Amino acid sequence: MTIMARVKLDSVRAYQRAISDILSYDERLNNAIPIMNDLYSSLSRKIKQLESELDKLTTAEKAINVKIQNCKSECESLEAEIQRIKDNVDTLKDELQNEDDSDLRHMIKLDISGQKAELFEKKSELYATRQRMNNCSAVHRDLRTVFSAIRNRISILSRYKEKIAKLTEDFRSEKLSSLQSSELALNALTKIETTVSEYNSAKVIVRSASNSYATQILAKGLGEIAFMSKKFCDMQKKQELDGQRQFFDDDGKVYRVGNELVSNNCIKKNGITFVTDNYGNTVTAECKIRLDNKISPDRHWDAKLVDIGKGDEKEGDDRGHIIAHRFGGPDSLVNAFPQNMTINRGAYKDFEDYLASQLEVYKEIPVSVSLIYRGESHRPTGVVFMYEIDGEKRMRTFPNEQEE
């Protein structure tokens, strides 16, 4: 957008004639004022739109804070429940030591086993709740980044708005037709033209994605919120490391470099959604399993057991599938964990056989698998397998150690 074409002349005489023409065109000069006013109004509208987006994001931030507080409260409640169960187990152990009657001892042992099973379930719930809280915190950090970006754009637009306002006022007060020299007239027009040109070249545009970001953030689930915020803030940038192979997921994003999974990442592979933690461990896998998902009878692992366990694997461990190969699970680092061989080839396989038999009837079963890790270890201590058959939600838990 320009207010008047830049004058290009070949001679001093022609230059002087052009200056005289500019000063004589009062109507043409006055037409510049509405143009400046329109530009001022346009900037004002953009600033107002951005401020409205900030209000929406503030509402979203409050909702995320509520989720974080709820998760904290739930964690505290679960921790108290876990401690209560531990105390019950200790009490039952004391009773067992002091009891001579064999029948009562048997009943006490059964109570202890039930308490331990409940303890494992509560620990699984605590882990899942902490994961949700970590996801909420990640979304909250992303929201703060968006806040900063929008405020920065408002600041840039406001500076241009002030500059346009000042130039417009100068334009009005000095009335270019009454300026005492052609040099002043050209300088005033050039300043206006330069300002508008700078504004155009700056291309201060807020991404269209931000318009729907704040409204969608309250309507969709936490997993989708985390994914949207990562996508919006360009969290998934292509990683380039010399000499290391890169692996891409179904969306074309880098999810693995060499033998390391990208941490705190959402990965889609073979229609399965995987999530990694801070240490690059796969902590959850969700999908709908089908028998027709079977990709190939051949096995082509892209990782060795040592690549999966990173030194935490134990002698006799298998490369365990999180989602079975026959259900479409890839022979890949993202779908693998160091698994006790007896469990993998025994209880875990029997459970997969059971699911396969159910798929002959129901064709499709939604599953959600959570792996429980201790500290920075890359070898999980257990697996929680949630699944739904005919509308009924069920759960199976598998330790990662063979019971004595």
Q: Please tell me whether residues 76 and 124 are part of one structural domain.
A: yes
Q: Is residue 213 part of a domain?
A: no
Question: What would the mean pLDDT of 106-132 be, rounded to a whole number?
Answer: 89
166 and 45 together in one domain: yes
Mean pLDDT score of the chain: 77
Q: Which of residues 151, 180, 202 is at a domain's end? A: 202
Same domain, 325 and 258: yes
User: Do the domain assignments include residue 154?
Assistant: yes
Q: What is the pLDDT of residue 322?
A: 96
State the Rg of the chain over Cα: 33
Say if 1 falls within a structural domain: no
CA-closest candidate to residue 273, choices 233, 330, 220? 330
Q: Find the mean pLDDT for residues 198-210.
A: 41
DSSP state of 7: P
Q: Tokens standing for 193?
A: 């033209």
Short-list 254, 258, 399, 247, CA closest to 330? 247
Domain identity same for 157 and 263: no
Residue 200 tokens, joined:
């155009």
| H helix intervals, 175-207 | 182-202
What average pLDDT score do residues 277-295 get? 85
Same domain, 198 and 242: no
50-88 tens-digit pLDDT? 888 888 888 888 888 898 999 999 899 989 989 999 898
Segment 224-229 mean pLDDT: 45
Instruction: Answer yes or no: is pLDDT of 26 > 80.
Output: no
Whether the pLDDT of residue 185 is over 60: the answer is no
Based on the structure, what is the number of domains in the chain? 2
- Are residues 193 and 48 both part of a single domain? yes
**Co-location of 37 and 112 in the same domain:** yes
195 and 252 belong to one structural domain: no
CA–CA dist 142, 1 (Å, integer):
36
- 318 located within any domain: yes
How far is Cα 269 from Cα 90, in angstroms, rounded to an integer? 45
pLDDT over 90 at 296, yes or no: no
Q: What is the pLDDT of residue 289?
A: 93
Residue 233 lies in a domain: no
Domain boundary residue, one of 142, 176, 202: 202
**Domain around 85:** 12-202
Q: What is the CATH number of the domain that holds 268?
A: 3.40.570.10
CATH number, domain with residue 194: 1.10.287.2610
- Give the range among 147-156, 266-275, 337-346 with minimum mean pLDDT: 147-156
Q: In the chain, pLDDT over 70 holds for what percent of residues?
A: 71
Whether residue 187 is found in the same domain as residue 269: no
Residue 208 lies in a domain: no
pTM summary value: 0.42
- Tell me whether residue 45 is in a domain: yes
How confident is the model at residue 235, as a pLDDT? Answer: 36
Distance CA 188, CA 167 (A): 8
In a domain, 228, yes or no: no
Tell me: do 174 and 89 sit in the same domain: yes
| Residues 270 and 345 occupy one common structural domain | yes
